[in-house]
Amino acid sequence: MRLKYHTLAAVFVLGAAAPAVTIAAGDAEAGKTKAAVCAACHGKNGIAAIPGYPNLAGQNEQYLVSSLKAYKNNQRNGGQAAIMQGQAAGLSDEDIANLAAYYASLPAGGGE
């Protein structure tokens, strides 16, 4: 019984000491190239060209990844979700990571 207790305790200690799982950051330069189609609605510097559309410049990278994946998997609805679902459908996980890295790297004010 004591061995079982110590083994279980060791598992918890090692689990707590392990670093958090991180998702590899995307390639912002590759994301910039891929973002050309996004500019029609979100602006060339990530500042939305259309009122009511979100600015992407300076946005949290992981938020962008999770948002694009949710659109791709049809888990986000309402508003302009149908447009974004169509745009995200053709993106690979690498494309999503790259786009997120690119927009996260931009200054929140769009650099202008």
pLDDT tens for 65-84 read 999 999 999 999 988 899 99
3-class secondary-structure state, position 18? coil
Give the separation between CA 94 and CA 66, rounded to whole angstroms: 13
Q: Per-residue pLDDT for the chain (112 aa), expressed as one digit of tens each? A: 554 544 444 444 444 444 444 455 899 999 999 999 999 999 999 999 899 999 999 999 999 999 999 999 999 998 889 999 999 999 999 999 999 999 999 999 876 5
Which structural domain, as residue segments, surrounds residue 97?
Answer: 26-105
CATH of the domain at 45: 1.10.760.10
User: What size, in residues, is the chain?
Assistant: 112
Q: pTM of the predicted model, to two decimals?
A: 0.76
**pLDDT for res 18:** 40
**pLDDT for res 109:** 81
Residue 19 resides in a domain? no
Residue 16 resides in a domain? no
Residue 15 resides in a domain? no
- Residue 40: partners with Cβ closer than 8 Å, 6 or more residues away: 49
Residue 35 resides in a domain? yes
How many domains is the chain partitioned into structurally? 1
**pLDDT for res 112:** 54
CA distance to 5, 49, 60, 85, per residue, from 73 (Å): 42, 26, 20, 8
Taking a C-beta distance cutoff of 8 angstroms, is the pair 59, 104 a contact?
yes
**pLDDT for res 103:** 98
